[in-house]
């Protein structure tokens, strides 16, 4: 339980001692988190024990009473001397000691008094190890500390190597001439040929250089003048055409068009302009077009290079397509787009739409954005991490590029904050162009549809902490507050869950519109892909909505292939109604013109990051009022619309005005790597310049991780490995896995697993066939105890089925998403191109040369270990089951969707995982069981133990012991392996199977003799 000064509710909140941390046995009483201070609120004191074999019988009152008496006699409660401890805490606060660790039993009352004292002195308090260890600190304390966990913290693992294995590995290592030569360069020396060049799918983005006409040779000046003349002539012809005049009449009706002259003058007179525009005002399609038309008309087209960033791929494609259509030309002429894996542009392209990520990678190649004349950053109100990062860079860039014009575009009226950030830049507001939209809230929807919310969604006074909006609603007296509504509606409101989306209610809302309202498309806002697929299944089974001749039901998700996304914008035949099931991508990034009805579930999947406990949380969260306003506005594009909100007005009224910026709620390691690649100084000082700077602890965690995986050195400079990781547009751990896979001839598995982790899991879970789907996934994993192997085998089997023309049937039979698998295939090709560009793959060589160990489970597991470290779990046998523990949070569970969820005892002592996330519990996702040898050879640095009788890893959390000869052999092999890897990273063209043949052979031999528990 952590206390901090000025904590709301005072120091008494969370009283009670340290019991209850354990889960107890089958009949145990220790499920609460008592002693967890703020969380525990004094509950769950006793309990704990239980569950270890048949010796403990907490369910037996007589046995329990006897056991408790024994425990009290073994560890009697001491009298807490308030004067003595007040003096000690005062002394600690004024001294240099950072924390006080107390291993004494003061009972619950004594702990509470100490907690209150700490609170009053502005210190932090937490009880660990079921209240046996009390800590008072000057800094916030995490919920778990391995160094204070006497039972489950760091433990020693004995390495048992047979004499035969020791001799074979030793001989192979001796055959490598004993050492691998190492270059004299340090980790921070730049690599030859490395420039951080941007590559998207193997294609380098090259922006034309901008030069003044006066400084050009006459031939080039003439060519530029000719190009400007040609583009102006083409534009004038286009504007004179009949189709263009029709399109112009439509454009002139948009509110943005009325602001054209004022906008162009503001851009000409100011380096930065901030524009806010209501949904439907035309800012995204018209403002970039105004600049393009003006530059062409004024014969400046040859020097004009406009870039407009979008947060999502679908937006870049759809908006560029719309503008090209308005100009009467094909996409890729004067207007184009560039996204990952796809580009349509030409030498004539003067207005380019791209994702923010594409522009950030261009900045690596060209920090000054040479040749860019205008930059428009759209959707800044979303406060995505890339957008906030870009704003810091641009604010620093503008003084060096006085000729660059920057336009910031927001869909909400919060322009003042952005204006102040850029030195009080002028702002322009464009009013929206929408018809009136009628609004109904949950209570009204229930009254209209007569949908009865079943008891499975009944509200419960759960002990777990509620979010403020849910807590607000649960305190309401339903009968009193909603007395004007029918009894059935009040009963449904009583049963309505604030935490679980009732898809039956969504289905009922859609059906109500289709039966009772006029024609028009329906847009449904859901939290994520899972909800979309489940609702799709329900709609297919619906007697009315399942008629495909009358209803066109389309999913909309940011990761869908672009060819599928285009269907969203097409109008259906007059006798058919379009129903779009979307995530929050449809709030403002795209516009579907024919939407008349909106159904809003009120939530969006949002990641939050607990820096203190190094834990990501992914849960559907209530949206902001700004988002709710955006969703409502989608209904009034073409005629008066209706918005059905599936949450009470009470909750809407209490929603926050704006969403928390992404930079404040996600891990920052990928961002920190980008900062270093752009040579922007120290990470902390750069991020301190953000619009809303992130928590320094989040920054520190990211830097520590990058140092741990070898991307940064001790002085926070990029290592050769870090420089390579900068070129790979993925999480640093995934990037490292790609490099290790290419180096150790596991290329195809690395490409496949990396594409799945960077995109999404291809396995789908049908609502009514979960057991069959789980069984199909386990069949791919075999006895590997690995989700990653399941991904790999599923993809390889799909490729085989595709070659035989059976891919669709294969996906249906094995519960796989063909869309996801195809995207993975495309991403594999992109990753291969990137590895080729930085020299780790030579495409002139046979693919087999890079896949010698692709079918070797031990080598693939070692590759996973190298890439996923420090995401390591200890597997500890507890009776007939395995308990899993991590350094950061202690006990964790395997995610229910994992192939390992059904495994009771694991054959190997460790696990690596892709992600640790808190939802209903703390879960590890995508896990693989690994041997101690994989960890020793491919995990973190090995350091001598404090006792000098073993070796340690992960800051001392993992201890290994063995005979001196075995430890010496492992340390020597690891040292030679590290030298070989260092040389390969510095010289990608190096053939390690020539230079270090014996070292690799020794490593393979040792991995194949893995220790089985």
Do residues 129 and 98 lie in contact, with contact meaning Cβ atoms separated by under 8 Å?
no
Assigned CATH for 437-663: 3.40.50.300
Q: Name the strand (E) or helix (H) holding 125.
A: strand 124-128
Res. 508: pLDDT tops 90: yes
Q: Is the pLDDT confidence value at 369 over 90?
A: yes
> Taking residues 405-421, what's their average pLDDT?
88
- Span 635-658, average pLDDT: 92
pLDDT at 280 over 90: no
Which of 54-63, 132-141, 350-359 shows the lowest per-residue confidence on average (mean pLDDT)?
54-63
CA distances from 944 to 146, 706, 953, 959, 966 (A): 19, 22, 9, 9, 14
Residue 574 confidence (pLDDT): 87
**CB distance 309 to 355 below 8 Å:** yes
Distance between CA atoms of residues 33 and 2, nearest Å: 13
End-to-end CA distance of the chain: 37
- Is 135:11 a contact under the CB 8 Å cutoff? no
For the segment 461-489, the average pLDDT, to the nearest whole number, is 83
- Residues paired with residue 227 on neighbouring β-strands, in sequence order: none
Q: Is the pLDDT of residue 562 over 70?
A: no
Question: Average pLDDT, stretch 166-183?
Answer: 73
pLDDT exceeding 90 applies to what percent of the chain? 55
Q: How confident is the model at residue 767 (pLDDT cuts 50, 70, 90)?
A: low
What pairing do the DSSP bridges indicate for beta strands 922-930 and 910-918? antiparallel
pLDDT band at 590 (very low <50, low <70, confident <90, very high): low
| Residue among 156, 175, 172 nearest 1009 (CA) | 172
Q: Of the given ranges (327-336, 407-416, 498-507, 666-675), which has the lowest mean pLDDT?
A: 407-416
Q: In angstroms, rounded to a whole number, what is the distance separating the alpha carbons of residues 985 and 723?
A: 10
Share of the chain above pLDDT 70, in %: 86
Instruction: Give me the chain's average pLDDT, please.
Output: 84
Q: Mean pLDDT, to the nearest integer, of 339-363?
A: 90
Q: What is the pLDDT of residue 224?
A: 80
Which range is most confident: 222-231, 427-436, 721-730? Answer: 721-730
DSSP string, 129-195: TTTTEEEEESS---S--GGG-TTTSSEEEE----HHHHHHHHHHHHTTTS-----S--TTSPPTT--
Residue of 898, 930, 935 lying closest to 915 (CA atoms): 898
Say how far apart CA 837 and CA 365 lie, in whole Å: 14
At residue 559 the predicted structure's pLDDT band, cuts being 50, 70 and 90, is low
For residues 957-976, average pLDDT: 93
pLDDT for the residue 221? 64
The CATH architecture of the domain made up of 218-430 is: 3-Layer(aba) Sandwich (3.40)
Q: How far is CA 882 from CA 58, 171, 927, in A?
A: 22, 36, 14
Average pLDDT in the 536-553 region? 91
Strand partners, 551: 577
pLDDT reading at 44 higher than 50: no
Band of residue 703 on the pLDDT scale cut at 50, 70, 90: very high
- Greater confidence (998 vs 45) lies with 998
> What single-letter DSSP state applies at residue 763?
B
Q: Are 770 and 788 in contact (CB under 8 A)?
A: no
Range of weakest confidence among 55-64, 268-277, 623-632, 890-899: 55-64
464 pLDDT above the threshold of 90:
no
Q: Which strand ranges, in their side-by-side order, compose the sheet holding 958-961?
A: 155-158, 958-961, 951-953, 943-944
Residue 865 has pLDDT above 80, yes or no: yes
pLDDT in tens, 914-965: 999 887 789 999 999 999 999 999 999 999 887 777 999 998 889 999 999 9
In the chain, CATH 3.40.50.300 covers 218-430, 437-663
Task: Tell me what the mean pLDDT of segment 865-883 comes to.
Answer: 92
Q: Which of 58-72, 184-198, 603-617 has the lowest mean pLDDT?
A: 184-198
Nearest to 307, CA basis, from 339, 354, 344, 240:
354
The predicted structure's pLDDT at residue 22 = 34
Predicted pLDDT at 215: 53
Distance, CA of 889 to CA of 258 (rounded, Å): 57
Question: How far is residue 25 from each of residues 22, 669, 764, measured CA to CA in Å?
Answer: 9, 39, 34
Across 419-576, the runs of DSSP E, i.e. the strands, are 427-430, 437-440, 521-525, 551-556
CB 277 within 8 A of CB 256: yes
Integer Rg of the chain from CA:
31
Give the model's confidence band at 176: pLDDT under 50 very low, under 70 low, under 90 confident, else very high: low
Query: Per the structure block, which two tokens stand in for 219?
Result: 């031939």
Beta strand spans in 252-362 (E) = 272-277, 306-310, 335-339, 342-344, 351-355
Range name among 56-70, 99-113, 939-953 with the lowest pLDDT average: 56-70
Residue 777 tokens read as 């996934």
Strand partners for 872: 912
Of residues 700 and 194, the one with the higher pLDDT is 700
In this prediction, residue 11 carries a pLDDT of 36
| pLDDT average, residue stretch 341-367 | 90
Average pLDDT over residues 136-163: 84
Tell which residue, 555, 554, 561, has the closest CA to residue 577. Answer: 554
What is the average per-residue pLDDT within 323-348?
Answer: 90
- Within 8 A by CB and 6+ apart from 525, the residues are 582, 583, 584, 586, 587, 598, 599, 600, 601, 604, 631
Say what the pTM is. Answer: 0.78
Three-state SS letters, 770-813: HHHHHHHHHHHHCCCCEHHHHHHHHHHHHHHHHHCCCHHHHHHH
- Tell me which of 109-113, 208-212, 322-326, 855-859 is least confident: 208-212
pLDDT for 387? 93
pLDDT at 229: 87
Total residue count of the chain as it appears in this document = 1013
Residue pLDDT, tens place only, 829-845: 999 999 999 999 998 89
- Are the C-beta atoms of residues 105 and 75 closer than 8 Å to each other? yes
């Amino acid at each position: 339980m952590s206390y901090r000064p000025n904590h709301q509710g005072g120091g008494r909140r969370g009283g009670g001692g340290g019991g209850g941390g354990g889960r107890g046995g089958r009949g145990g009483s220790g499920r609460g988190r008592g002693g967890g201070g703020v969380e525990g609120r004094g509950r769950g004191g006793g309990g704990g024990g239980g569950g270890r074999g048949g010796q403990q019988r907490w369910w037996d009152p007589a046995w329990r009473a006897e056991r408790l008496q024994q425990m009290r006699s073994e560890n009697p409660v001491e009298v807490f001397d308030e004067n003595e401890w007040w003096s000690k805490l005062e002394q600690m606060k004024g001294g240099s000691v950072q924390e006080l660790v107390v291993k004494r039993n003061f009972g619950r009352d004594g702990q509470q008094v100490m907690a209150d004292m700490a609170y009053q002195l502005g210190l932090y308090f937490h009880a660990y190890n079921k209240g046996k260890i009390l800590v008072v600190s000057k800094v916030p304390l995490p919920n778990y500390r391995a160094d204070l966990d006497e039972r489950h913290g760091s433990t020693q693992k004995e390495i048992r190597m047979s004499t035969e294995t020791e001799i074979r590995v030793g001989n192979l290592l001796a055959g490598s001439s004993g050492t691998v030569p190492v270059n004299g360069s340090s980790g921070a020396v730049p690599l030859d040929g490395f420039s951080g060049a941007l590559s998207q799918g193997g294609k380098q983005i090259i922006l034309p250089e901008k030069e003044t006409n006066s400084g050009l040779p006459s031939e080039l000046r003439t060519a530029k003048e000719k190009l400007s003349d040609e583009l102006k002539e083409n534009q004038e012809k286009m504007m004179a055409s009949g189709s263009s005049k029709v399109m112009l009449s439509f454009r002139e009706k948009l509110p943005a068009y009325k602001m054209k002259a004022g906008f162009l003058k503001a851009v000409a007179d100011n380096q930065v302009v901030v524009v806010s525009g209501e949904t439907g005002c035309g800012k995204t399609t018209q403002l970039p077009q105004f600049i393009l038309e003006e530059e062409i008309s004024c014969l400046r087209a040859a020097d004009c290079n406009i870039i407009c960033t979008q947060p999502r791929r679908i937006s870049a494609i759809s908006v560029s397509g719309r503008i090209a259509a308005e100009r009467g030309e094909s996409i890729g002429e004067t207007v184009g787009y560039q996204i990952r894996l796809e580009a349509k542009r030409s030498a004539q392209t003067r207005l380019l739409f791209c994702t923010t990520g594409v522009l950030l990678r261009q900045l690596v190649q060209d920090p000054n954005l040479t040749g860019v004349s205008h930059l428009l950053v759209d959707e800044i109100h979303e406060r995505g991490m890339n957008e906030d990062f870009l704003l810091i860079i641009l604010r620093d860039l503008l003084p060096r590029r006085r000729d660059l014009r920057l336009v910031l575009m927001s869909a909400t009226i919060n322009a003042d904050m952005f204006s102040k950030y850029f030195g009080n830049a002028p702002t322009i507001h464009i009013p929206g162009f929408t018809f009136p939209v009628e609004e109904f809230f949950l209570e009204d929807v229930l009254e209209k549809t007569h949908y009865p919310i079943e008891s499975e969604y009944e509200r419960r006074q759960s002990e777990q902490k509620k979010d403020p909006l849910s807590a607000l609603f649960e305190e309401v007296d339903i009968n009193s507050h909603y007395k004007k509504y029918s009894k059935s509606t009040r009963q449904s409101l009583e049963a309505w869950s604030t935490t679980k989306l009732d898809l039956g209610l969504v289905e009922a809302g859609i059906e109500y519109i289709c039966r009772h309202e006029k024609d028009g498309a329906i847009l449904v806002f859901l939290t994520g892909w899972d909800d979309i697929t489940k609702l799709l299944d329900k709609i297919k089974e619906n007697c009315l909505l399942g008629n495909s001749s009358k209803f066109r039901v389309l999913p909309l998700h940011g990761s869908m292939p672009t060819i599928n996304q285009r269907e969203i914008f097409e109008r259906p035949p007059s006798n058919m109604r379009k129903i779009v099931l979307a995530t929050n991508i449809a709030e403002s990034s795209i516009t579907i013109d024919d939407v008349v009805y909106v159904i809003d579930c009120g939530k969006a999947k949002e990641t939050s990051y607990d820096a203190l406990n190094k834990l990501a949380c992914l849960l559907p969260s209530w949206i902001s009022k700004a988002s709710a306003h955006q969703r409502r506005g989608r209904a009034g594009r073409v005629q008066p619309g209706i918005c059905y909100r599936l949450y009470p007005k009470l909750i809407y009224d209490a929603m926050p005005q704006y969403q928390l910026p992404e930079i404040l709620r996600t891990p920052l390691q990928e961002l920190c790597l980008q900062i270093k690649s752009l040579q922007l100084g120290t990470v902390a000082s750069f991020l301190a310049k953000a619009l809303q700077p992130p928590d320094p602890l989040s920054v520190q965690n990211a830097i520590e991780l990058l140092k741990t995986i070898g991307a940064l050195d001790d002085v926070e400079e990029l290592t050769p490995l870090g420089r390579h990781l900068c070129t790979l547009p993925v999480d640093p751990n995934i990037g490292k896995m790609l490099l290790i896979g290419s180096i150790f001839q596991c290329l195809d598995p690395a490409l496949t697993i990396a594409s799945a982790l960077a995109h999404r899991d291809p396995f789908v879970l049908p609502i009514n066939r979960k057991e069959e789907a789980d069984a199909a996934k386990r069949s791919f994993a075999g006895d590997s105890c690995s989700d990653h192997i399941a991904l790999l085998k599923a993809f390889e089997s799909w490729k085989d089925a595709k070659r035989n023309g059976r891919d669709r049937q294969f996906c249906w039979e094995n519960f796989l998403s063909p869309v996801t698998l195809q995207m993975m295939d495309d991403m594999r090709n992109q990753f291969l191109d990137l590895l080729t560009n930085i020299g780790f793959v030579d495409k002139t060589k046979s693919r087999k040369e890079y896949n010698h160990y692709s079918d070797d489970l031990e080598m693939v597991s070692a590759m996973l270990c190298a890439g996923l470290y420090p995401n390591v779990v200890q597997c500890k046998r507890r009776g007939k089951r395995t308990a899993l523990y991590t350094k950061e949070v202690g006990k964790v569970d395997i995610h229910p969707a994992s192939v390992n969820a059904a495994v009771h005892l694991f054959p190997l002592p460790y696990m690596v995982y892709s992600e640790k996330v808190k939802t209903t519990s703390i879960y590890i996702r995508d896990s693989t069981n690994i041997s101690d040898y994989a960890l020793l050879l491919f995990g973190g640095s090995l350091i001598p133990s404090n006792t000098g009788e073993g070796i340690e890893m992960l800051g001392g959390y993992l201890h290994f012991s063995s005979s001196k000869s075995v430890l010496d052999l492992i340390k020597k092999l690891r040292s030679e392996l590290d030298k070989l890897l260092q040389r390969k990273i510095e010289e990608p063209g190096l053939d390690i199977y020539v230079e270090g043949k014996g070292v690799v052979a020794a490593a393979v031999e040792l991995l194949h003799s893995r220790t089985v528990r």
